[in-house]
């Protein structure tokens, strides 16, 4: 079979064939009459079979681009979503606006590590923070945790790949970080719920191949965000009784959620973190998807 014929087998054949041949797509279109070796054709057919069963392309190739960087992904991690790139922009904006060049930044539920690595990559670049002269060591320190050990192994590989220095810990929410204080916390925790899980539309077809504990949470998807807010509210209580440590508690916390959860997010923030100022932000599709909570 020629490349041209193979490309007609499936709409995702170009990306999968380029993966099998270890050549870019331009090569496929430049050499349409080239015959495929039997072994390569067999590999392509296996991938196409899996793809037609619903396997996400990213798990078949083991790669996903996020924020312009190539991330390794395995079925142990959620495939980074394009909408989450806006969350990285929101966090970066704080540092650009405040010209702050030293801070401790924590990513909870790091998965593939895409958020914290993209931040490290962007903020570690002296041009991205105006008051930082080139060559000056960044005072930003990066931390990440996840409840899944397997996910952390993937995140560690990605951090090494992109040369971002990150301190990783395993555990639930803030528990692995007892007695540690952060300036910024980002948490893209599982926020899917049952009705969403049972939805069998094309858009959600691949979800069954992703780690379920990365996607779904109890209480209509809000259980973990609520728990995180409760843990933060406890810190806040300690802080108000000890004014000297005021500067040490997270100034800003970012969470991602489903636009349909907006009202509940507002209620949880008002109930558990009344001292924090809540701001909601839209994703590129114009839907409310991110919240920042800032304490002054």
Question: Site size for ligand SAM, by CB under 6 A?
Answer: 22
- Does the footprint of ligand SAM cover residue 108 (CB under 6 A)? yes
Please give the residues from 194 up to 233 whose contact with ligand SAM meets the rule CB under 6 A: 213-214, 224
List of residues 6+ apart from 59 with CB closer than 8 A: 73, 74, 75, 79, 209
Binding ligand SAM by CB under 6 A: which of 10, 16, 44, 84?
84
**Which of 101, 132, 138, 148 is close enough to bind ligand SAM by CB under 6 A?**
148
Sole window of 23-31, 126-134, 140-148, 160-168 interacting with ligand SAM (rule: CB under 6 A): 140-148
Nearer residue to ligand SAM within complex by CB, 103 or 152: 152
Shortest approach of ligand SAM to residue 34 CB, angstroms?
A: 37
Please provide residue 143's backbone torsions phi and psi, each rounded to the nearest 5 degrees: -135, 150
- Is 88 one of the binding residues for ligand SAM (CB under 6 A)? no
Q: How far is the CB of 139 from ligand SAM (least distance, A)?
A: 24
Buried b (16+ CB within 10 A) or exposed e, 217-241: beebbbbbbbbbbebbeebbeebee
Cβ proximity to ligand SAM: between 126 and 211 the closer is: 211
Among 43, 172, 231, 264, binds ligand SAM (CB under 6 A): 172
By CB under 6 A, name the one of 115, 222, 273, 291 that touches ligand SAM: 115
60 binds ligand SAM per the rule CB under 6 A? no
Is residue 158 at the binding interface for ligand SAM, with CB under 6 A as the rule? no
- Looking at residues 18 to 57 of the shown chain, list those that interact with ligand SAM (rule: CB under 6 A): none
Q: How far apart are alpha carbons 69 and 115 in whole angstroms?
A: 11
User: Which residues 6+ apart lie within 8 Å of 234 measured at CB?
Assistant: none
Positions in the binding site for ligand SAM (CB under 6 A): 78, 80, 84, 108-112, 114-115, 146-148, 151, 172-173, 188-190, 213-214, 224
């Amino acid at each position: 079979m020629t490349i041209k014929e193979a490309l007609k087998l499936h709409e995702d054949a170009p990306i999968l064939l380029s993966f099998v041949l270890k050549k870019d797509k331009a090569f496929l279109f430049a050499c349409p009459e080239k015959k495929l070796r039997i072994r390569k054709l067999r590999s392509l057919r296996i991938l196409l079979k899996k793809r037609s069963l619903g396997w996400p392309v990213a798990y078949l190739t083991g790669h996903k681009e996020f924020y312009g960087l190539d991330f390794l992904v395995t079925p142990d991690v959620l495939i980074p979503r394009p909408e989450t790139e806006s969350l990285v922009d929101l966090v970066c904006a704080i540092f650009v606006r405040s010209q702050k060049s030293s801070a401790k930044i924590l990513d909870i539920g790091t998965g593939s590590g895409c958020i914290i690595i993209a931040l490290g990559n962007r903020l570690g670049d002296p041009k991205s923070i105006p008051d930082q002269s080139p060559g000056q060591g960044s005072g930003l320190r990066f931390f990440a945790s996840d409840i899944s050990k397997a996910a952390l192994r993937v995140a560690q590989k990605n951090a090494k790949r992109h040369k971002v220095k990150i301190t990783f810990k395993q555990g639930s929410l803030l528990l692995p970080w007892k007695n540690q204080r952060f300036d910024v916390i980002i948490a893209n925790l599982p926020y899917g719920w049952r009705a969403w899980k049972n939805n069998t539309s094309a858009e959600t077809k691949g979800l069954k191949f992703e780690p379920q504990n990365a996607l779904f949470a109890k209480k209509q998807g809000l259980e973990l965000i609520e728990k995180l807010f409760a843990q933060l509210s406890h810190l806040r209580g300690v802080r108000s009784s000890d004014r000297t440590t005021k500067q040490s508690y997270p100034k800003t916390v970012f969470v991602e959620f489903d636009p349909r959860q907006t009202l509940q997010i507002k209620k949880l923030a008002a109930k558990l973190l009344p001292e924090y100022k809540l701001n909601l932000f839209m994703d590129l599709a114009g839907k409310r998807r991110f919240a920042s909570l800032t304490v002054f």
